[in-house]
Amino acid sequence: MKAKKIEKIRNEATSRVNKESLVQFRLEPEILDRLYEEANKLGLPVGTMVRMWVMERLNEKSA
């Protein structure tokens, strides 16, 4: 691959990564257990489920 093409791909990838952020927060062990149980029931990773819930709630608020 040519250097310019590699640089373009790298810039596009960096641009996408920089648009997402990581959010951290603390939860009591009991709440965390409940989250994992619910995610397991749905067959989803817990992070995916929580992200879906947040997006659903934000969409409800803006409707």
The pLDDT score that the predictor gives to residue 63 is 77
Only one residue has tokens 């009591």, namely 28
Q: What is the mean pLDDT of residues 27-52?
A: 96
The pLDDT assigned to 23 comes to 85
Going by pLDDT thresholds of 50, 70 and 90, the confidence category of residue 2 is confident
pLDDT of residue 9: 75
Q: Determine the residue type at 2.
A: K
Q: How far apart are CA 18 and CA 10, in angstroms?
A: 12
Q: Give first-to-last CA distance, the chain, whole Å.
A: 47
> What domains sit in the chain, N to C, each tagged with a CATH number?
23-63 (1.10.1220)
Cα gap 53→27, rounded to integer Å: 16
Alpha-carbon span 59 to 16, nearest angstrom: 22
